[in-house]
Amino acid sequence: MNIQCKSDPLRTIRAALKACGEGSSSVSIGVVDGLPDLPHPALVDAKIDVLQTMVPPEMVESDPHGTSICSLIFGRGGQIRGLAPGCSGLVLPLFFRKTKDGQSLPVSQLDLARAISFGIENDVSIINISAGQKSATAEAESHLAQVIQLAAARRVLLVAAAGNDGCACIHLPAAVEFVLSVGALGATGKPLEISNWAEAYRRNGVLAPGENLPVAVPGGDTGAGTGTSFAAAVVSGVAALLLSVARREGYQLDPLDIRQIIIESATPCELEGVGACDRFLAGTNAAAALAMLHRAGAGQTSFAMVQTAGLDLHVGRDAGGRQATVSGRGDLGSLTSVRVMQSLASCPACRHQPARAIRRLKTKPQKRR
């Protein structure tokens, strides 16, 4: 039996962004995940397409995680209401194969790089990545790092989950510069115990509600989602609404500017005592972000706009440990997606070991009965 949450964990965000409306269909959000249950009442009327070229012929089963993530962003029917139901979605399906216990098998960083590149080729503005790989450093393998640089050059916002290991550790791609990493807040307003925190996230990370969020579950059911995967989807929805307002008002702001607005407007931790704020990234403040958006759009305030041109940008290391860079002689836009895709397609050495794999995060939506 389906039941509704007695209290919507996203009510504060919804109230702050009520004036934004449902979002613009001109804002397209790529979702790197499994196949959603598009006939679900929450998604049947949503503006979501699936990039069919990424779907193996035998893989048709709806994925609970992918269904839930899409419902948080695009849901527009039944008991589930997404944050940006008026925006367009493009599912970049990556997780198919199942283990004996029903979990999705991990994919390589090369697979993730291809998915992101396909999203860029299809002109998405934001890409939500509710998956990751625990890593000792913020250095991605060269193909993934190169595509992240391409996204920055094209001013595409990548939003990624910080991970659910509950430690001062990082996940890729969330920890990579230019990516907006997202940790999860609990119902009490404090970080969830499972939400990762690390020094790398303090430069590019925020917190968002991520406990018992109402989500769609395949088969027409509803459930509750907990973890950084779901918090990332919340931030993607917020970013999509802010970008929709910027375009509606004619502001000269792009997705990476929206990223910076979200980071700079976030509520900092003000707890006292040594180590009291260790687990806290700044908390997403939708009302402050919208106010900053209008001030920036009207030229009344400035913020640290993300610069991607004229830099000799570090990319990472390839499978053989060699450092690779993109030499930006004034314009990173010269790094075209065609070149990246050719590079991805012609990489005979890109056979990643399981320890270097992108995995779906440990928590999953729980069906309500």
Q: Which residues of the chain have pLDDT under 70?
A: 1-6, 97-104, 301-369
Cβ atoms of 276 and 53 closer than 8 Å: no
Predicted confidence at residue 6, as pLDDT, reads: 57
Predicted confidence at residue 56, as pLDDT, reads: 85
Predicted confidence at residue 353, as pLDDT, reads: 41
Domain assignment of residue 198, given as a range = 11-367
CA distances in angstroms from 299 to 176, 264, 292, listed in the order given? 30, 16, 10
Dist. CA 167–CA 296, nearest whole Å: 36
Predicted confidence at residue 3, as pLDDT, reads: 40
Residue 290 lies in a domain: yes
Residue 5 lies in a domain: no
Residue 54 lies in a domain: yes
Residue 282 lies in a domain: yes
User: What CATH number is attached to the domain comprising 344?
Assistant: 3.40.50.200
pTM, whole model, 2 decimals? 0.84
Predicted confidence at residue 278, as pLDDT, reads: 83
Dist. CA 231–CA 192, nearest whole Å: 11
Residue 3 lies in a domain: no
Residue 6 lies in a domain: no
Residue 95 lies in a domain: yes
Structural domains of the chain, count: 1
Q: Which residue has the tokens 């990643």?
A: 352
Residue 2 lies in a domain: no
Predicted confidence at residue 365, as pLDDT, reads: 61
Predicted confidence at residue 273, as pLDDT, reads: 79
Predicted confidence at residue 368, as pLDDT, reads: 47
Cβ atoms of 124 and 51 closer than 8 Å: no
